[in-house]
Amino acid sequence: MLDTKTNSAPKVGLFVTCLVDLFRPSVGFAAVKLLEDAGCVVEVPPAQTCCGQPAYNSGDREDTRAIARNTIEAFEGYDYIVAPSGSCAGMLKKHYPLLFKGEAIEQQAVEFSNKVHELVSFLVDVIGVKSVSARHEGSVTYHDSCSGLRELRIRSQPRALLSSVEGLEIREMKEADVCCGFGGTFCVKYPDISNAIVGKKTQNIRESGADTLLAGDLGCLMNMAGKLQREGSGMKVRHVAEVLAGMDDTPPIGGGRN
Amino acid sequence: MQITSPSFKENSRGALADAQLQKALGNVRAGFIDKRLKAVEALPEFDLLRDNARAIKDHVLAHLDLYLEAYEKKVTESGGHVHWAETAEDARRIVLDICRKANARTVTKGKSMITEEIGLNDFLEAEGIRPVETDLGEYIIQLRGEHPSHIIAPAVHLNKEQVEADFRRVHKHLAEGRDLSEPESLLGEARSVLRSEYFAADVGITGANFLVAETGTSIIVTNEGNGDLTQILPRVHIVMASLEKIVPTLDDASQILRVLARSATGQDMSVYTTLSTGPRRPGDPDGPEEYHVVLLDNGRSSMLGTEFQEMLRCIRCGACMNHCPVYHAVGGHAYGWVYPGPMGAVLTPSLIGVDKAGHLPNASTFCGRCEEVCPMRIPLPKMMRHWREREFERGLNPATQRYGLGLWAFFAKRPRLYRLASSLGIPVLSLLGGGKRRFRYLPLAGGWTKYRDLPAPEGRTFMQQWRDGGASVRARVA
C-alpha cells in the first residue's frame, strides 16, 4: 500500500484544525487511526493553531501571513501534512503560496503546500487505500463541503471508502454539492442569509431518508447539526473520519439528551 | 438610480420575508442550472473554449487603447460616430444631445445594463423624452417602476400573476375579460403593445455584447428580436457600450459567443445574434440614418492594472448569480444597485466605491461555485477577498468584528498562549453544554444561536489529550 521509495513508513504531520482541536477531538483521533492503519507514522506538531482563514477571509493579510509562517515552520521535516478538513487543507495548499509571492519564503511555502492533503483524499489518492475495516449499521448521506469539492476535487474518495464500510448504505441527498451556508464568519455576519441557505440544506438532508449526515469539514457539520437540532430533527451528524475509522461510539455532534 | 447597497442587511431581511419573491427565486434554481449543465456537457470542448475566451479578453485588456482606437477608426469609416464618455453624466449628456438633434420624443430601448448604470431612463423622462423598454422583462419592470434584479432576466423576481395584474392596470385600452393566464398570452400582449412603439420611436438605443475592432461592428444577442426592431426602425441608432466590450476580430466574438448563451440560459446560441456596422448605406433595404456609439468608462479604466482587472473579462452571462446560494436566498434587488450576485459583489465596489458597497464582497460564503461556472474563468471569490482587504486596510468593517478578530489573531499567532487559553476555556465550555451537549443560546454567539444550536466541545482539547494521553490515547485509537 505504501508508495515511498525508501520503503520506510511515510511520516505524516497531522494538522488537527482548530475546530477539531477545540470542539471535536474524536475526529483527530479517528484521523490518527486511519493514517496509522494505512501505514503512516503520525506526529502532531505542538506549535500549530489555526490555518488562518478567519483572518484571511476578513481581509487581514498581515495576521494571516504571520499565522501561515508559524504553520509552515511547525511542519518542517514531514513527508506529508494531512488535515481532516477540505477547507483548512485548501487554505494550506492553495492559498499559502499566494501570501508570499515574490518573497524569500515563497519557495518554502510552495514546498510546504505540495505536501498538504485532506485526510480522505490523501488515503485514497496518495496512499492507495481502497477499503477500510469498519462497521456502521444504518444509512448515511454525504455533504460535499465547498472548499474540498472545488479546490481539492474531493467527491468520489469519501464515497469510495464509505461503500467499503460494512452495514452502511449511502443515500445521496439532492444538491449535495451546494453550500450549507456556513462560510466561516459569514454565518455570524449575515445570520439571516446563512439561515436561509442552511434551511434548504437541512430539507435536502432530511428528504434523503438517511439517519446520519456525514461530511469532511467540522465547520459545515456544526452548522448543519445545529440547524437540524434547532428544527428538532433526530438526525445524527458525524465527521466522515469517525465512521471510516469505526469510531462511532462517541455521541454525535451536538448530540446528547433532548 | 438610488443606491441602497449600504443597507444590504436590511434589504436582504426584507427579501427573505417576501413570499412572492421567494417563490420566484425558486425558478432561478430550477430554471438555469440544469439547462446550463446540459448544454455544457453536450460540448466536449467547452473548457477549451473558456480558456480561449479568457485569453482573448486578457489580450484585449492588455492593449485596450490600441483596440479602442482601431474600433473608432472603423466605425468612422463606415459613417458612424464614436463618443467617449468618461462618466455617467457625460454619457447622459451625449445621448440627450443626439436625441435633441433628432427632435426625439420617443426612444425605444433594447436591453442595456449600462443605461441602468447611468440612470438613463429617469434622465430622459425628466428632459421630456419618453423611453420605452422593448425587452419583455425590462418592459414589465418599467411598468412597475422597478429596476432589473438580474442582468439577463430582469424580471426574474416576479411571478406571472404579478405581471398579469400590471398589464391589466396599464393596458386599459384592451378588453377586460381577456385571458392572460399563460406566459404566452402575456408575451403576445406585450408584443402587440410594443409594435406601435417601434414605429413611433425617433431614436433606438441598444446595448452591445461585443464591439469588433477589425470591422467597427457592434453585436447584440437577444431571444425576442426586440433589439433588431429597436435598432433598424428608428431614424437614429445609439449603441451604449462600456470600454471592455471590445474584441479584436469577428472570429474572437464568435468564440466567446459559443460560451455566452450556454452559460447564460443553456442555449447553444441566443435566438438572435445581430451585427450592425454603421448607418444605412445607399441601396440597403433598411437601417438607421445615423449610427452612434457611446463608449462608457465610468470607472472601468481605473480597474486596469489592479487586482480587479480580470473582472473586465465579464461578458454578463449571469451564470455566477444563477449558481450563487446568496443570490438564491435574497435575489438581485437586495444588492442595492445595478449589478447583483458575485459579479456585482466585485464590480459594484469598483464603480460606486467600497465604502458604499462594502457588504457585497462580504456577503459570500466563498463556496466557489461562481468561479467554477464562470465562462471567462474570473476568480470572483479571490477578488471579493481583495475587496475585504481594502476594507480592512481602511478600517471600514464594524468595530466589533475588528476587535473580535484582533483578539483571536493575538492568540492564533502565539501557539503556547493559544494552547494555554484553549486548555482552560474549552473544558469549561464543554461542562456548560450540559447533558444536551449543545447551546440554544450563548453570549457573544447570538449570530449563530439565533437560528441554530451550537454543539458544545466534547471535553478537553485534542492537543491536551494528545500531549497527556500517551498510552490512553493509543488505547482509544485501538
Q: Where are the domains of chain A?
A: 11-125, 130-244
Distance CA B9, CA B362 (A): 11
Model confidence at B448: pLDDT above 90? yes
Measure CB to CB from residue A256 to each of B391, B437, B473 and give the nearest one.
B437
Listed by number, the residues of chain B in 451-470 with a beta carbon closer than 8 Å to a beta carbon of chain A are 451-463, 465-467
Model confidence at B28: pLDDT above 90? no
Helix residue ranges per DSSP H, B297-414: 319-322, 325-330, 341-352, 354-357, 359-362, 369-373, 380-394, 399-412
Is A21 in CB contact (< 8 Å) with chain B? yes
Per CB-CB distance under 8 Å, the chain A contacts of B401 are 58, 185, 189
End-to-end CA distance of chain A: 44
Listed by number, the residues of chain B in 333-372 with a beta carbon closer than 8 Å to a beta carbon of chain A are 362-369, 371-372
What is the pLDDT at residue B137? 95
Per CB-CB distance under 8 Å, the chain A contacts of B9 are 190, 192
The set of cell numbers assigned to A80 is 506529508
What is the count of residue pairs from A and B with beta carbons less than 8 Å apart? 217
CA distances in angstroms from B321 to A57, B98, B149, B370, B416, listed in the order given: 20, 35, 10, 7, 44
Is residue A196 within 8 A of residue A212, CB to CB? The reply is: no
Query: Helix B399-412 and helix B415-432: axis angle, to 10°?
Result: 110
Is residue B24 in a domain? Answer: no
Measure CB to CB from residue A58 to each of B405, B433, B457 and give the nearest one.
B405
Rounded average pLDDT over B53-62:
98
Is B436 in CB contact (< 8 Å) with chain A? yes
Is residue B163 in a domain? Answer: yes
Query: Helix B462-469 and helix B415-432: axis angle, to 10°?
Result: 110
Q: How far is B359 from chain A (nearest CA, A)?
A: 10
Residue B280 sits in a domain whose CATH number is: 3.40.50.10420
Burial group, residue A53, by CB count within 10 angstroms (0-12, 13-18, 19+) = buried
Is residue B350 within 8 A of residue A203, CB to CB? The reply is: no
What is the pLDDT at residue B31? 85
Is A23 in CB contact (< 8 Å) with chain B? yes
| Reported confidence tier of residue B27, pLDDT bands at 50, 70, 90 | confident
Kindly determine whether residue B369 and residue A179, on different chains, have CB atoms separated by under 8 Å.
Answer: yes
Rounded average pLDDT over A144-158:
98
| A11-125 and A130-244, same CATH topology | yes
Per CB-CB distance under 8 Å, the chain B contacts of A66 are 409, 413
Helix residue ranges per DSSP H, B131-286: 136-144, 160-170, 183-200, 226-232, 250-264
Kindly determine whether residue A179 and residue B460, on different chains, have CB atoms separated by under 8 Å.
Answer: no
Model confidence at A5: pLDDT above 60? no
Number of domains in chain B: 2
Residues 6+ apart with CB under 8 A from A109: A68, A72, A96, A97, A99, A100
Per CB-CB distance under 8 Å, the chain A contacts of B25 are none
Is residue B38 in a domain? Answer: no
Distance CA B337, CA B223 (A): 25
The set of cell numbers assigned to B344 is 456585482
Per CB-CB distance under 8 Å, the chain A contacts of B329 are 193, 196-197
Measure CB to CB from residue A226 to each of B329, B369, B454 and give the nearest one.
B454
Per CB-CB distance under 8 Å, the chain B contacts of A32 are 477
Which site among B452, B458, B461, B463 would you substitute to test the A interface, given the most A Cβ atoms closer than 10 Å to its Cβ? B452
Is A49 in CB contact (< 8 Å) with chain B? yes
Model confidence at A6: pLDDT above 70? no
Model confidence at A258: pLDDT above 80? no
pLDDT tens column, A50-78: 999 999 999 999 999 999 999 999 999 99
Domain end point (choices B267, B298, B329): B298
Kindly determine whether residue A151 and residue B448, on different chains, have CB atoms separated by under 8 Å.
Answer: no
Kindly determine whether residue A67 and residue B426, on different chains, have CB atoms separated by under 8 Å.
Answer: no
Domain end point (choices B298, B327, B359): B298
Q: Transcribe B425-441 into DSSP letters.
A: HHHHHHHHTTTTTEES-
pLDDT tens column, B296-342: 999 999 999 999 999 999 999 999 999 999 999 999 999 999 999 99
Is A222 in CB contact (< 8 Å) with chain B? yes
Residue of A nearest to B8 (CA): A190
In chain B, pLDDT over 90 holds for what percent of residues?
92
Q: Which residue has the cell 493509543?
A: B474
Per CB-CB distance under 8 Å, the chain A contacts of B411 are 49
pLDDT tens column, B107-161: 999 999 999 999 999 999 999 999 999 999 999 999 999 999 999 999 999 999 9
3-state secondary structure of B283: coil
Kindly determine whether residue A186 and residue B366, on different chains, have CB atoms separated by under 8 Å.
Answer: yes
Kindly determine whether residue B388 and residue A58, on different chains, have CB atoms separated by under 8 Å.
Answer: yes
Listed by number, the residues of chain B in 170-209 with a beta carbon closer than 8 Å to a beta carbon of chain A are none
CA distances in angstroms from A257 to A25, A205, A252, B371, B459, listed in the order given: 20, 22, 11, 42, 16
Q: Tell me, what amino acid is at B375?
A: P
Is residue B438 within 8 A of residue A229, CB to CB? The reply is: yes
Q: Residue B217: phi, psi to the nearest 5?
A: -95, 145
Distance CA B142, CA B268 (A): 29
What is the pLDDT at residue B474? 52
Q: Which one, of B265, B276, B383, lies nearest residue B316 by Cα?
A: B265
Is residue B226 within 8 A of residue B194, CB to CB? The reply is: yes
Q: Which residue has the cell 425628466?
A: B126
Domain boundaries, position B64: 43-298
Is B28 in CB contact (< 8 Å) with chain A? no
Listed by number, the residues of chain A in 138-157 with a beta carbon closer than 8 Å to a beta carbon of chain B are 146-147, 150-151
Measure CB to CB from residue A227 to each of B329, B367, B452 and give the nearest one.
B452
Sign of the four-CA dihedral B231, B235, B241, B243: positive
pLDDT tens column, A82-139: 999 999 999 999 999 999 999 999 999 999 999 999 999 999 999 999 999 999 999 9
Distance CA B222, CA B204 (A): 15
Distance CA A233, CA B402 (A): 35
Q: CATH for A130-244? A: 3.40.50.11810
Domain co-membership, B291 together with B430: no
Domain co-membership, B120 together with B248: yes
Kindly determine whether residue A191 and residue B450, on different chains, have CB atoms separated by under 8 Å.
Answer: yes
3-state DSSP helix/strand/coil % of chain B, to nearest 5 = 55, 10, 35
Lowest mean pLDDT among A6-20, B34-48, B335-349: A6-20
Distance CA A173, CA A213 (A): 10
Per CB-CB distance under 8 Å, the chain A contacts of B391 are 59
Residue B424's Cα: distance from chain center in Å? 48
Is residue B180 in a domain? Answer: yes
Kindly determine whether residue B329 and residue A183, on different chains, have CB atoms separated by under 8 Å.
Answer: no
Listed by number, the residues of chain A in 182-201 with a beta carbon closer than 8 Å to a beta carbon of chain B are 182-198, 200
A11-125 fold: Rossmann fold (3.40.50)
Rounded average pLDDT over B157-180:
94
Model confidence at B475: pLDDT above 70? no
The set of cell numbers assigned to B244 is 471592455
Q: How far is A101 from chain B (nearest CA, A)?
A: 14
Is A241 in CB contact (< 8 Å) with chain B? no
The set of cell numbers assigned to B436 is 444536551
End-to-end CA distance of chain B: 66
Distance CA B368, CA A87 (A): 12
Task: State chain B's mean pLDDT as an integer.
Answer: 95
Per CB-CB distance under 8 Å, the chain A contacts of B426 are 22-23
Residue of A nearest to B438 (CA): A254
Rounded average pLDDT over B18-36:
91
Domain end point (choices B256, B271, B298): B298
Model confidence at B477: pLDDT above 70? no
| Reported confidence tier of residue A4, pLDDT bands at 50, 70, 90 | very low
Is residue A256 within 8 A of residue A244, CB to CB? The reply is: no
Is A24 in CB contact (< 8 Å) with chain B? yes
Which site among B7, B386, B462, B467 would you substitute to test the A interface, given the most A Cβ atoms closer than 10 Å to its Cβ? B462
Distance CA B156, CA B172 (A): 25
Q: Which residue has the cell 501571513?
A: A65
In chain A, pLDDT over 70 holds for what percent of residues?
97
3-state secondary structure of B415: helix
Angle A223-A228-A231 (CA atoms, 0-180°, nearest 5)? 125
Model confidence at B472: pLDDT above 50? no
Domain co-membership, B289 together with B431: no
| Reported confidence tier of residue B470, pLDDT bands at 50, 70, 90 | low
What is the pLDDT at residue B398? 87
Measure CB to CB from residue A186 to each of B16, B365, B459 and give the nearest one.
B365
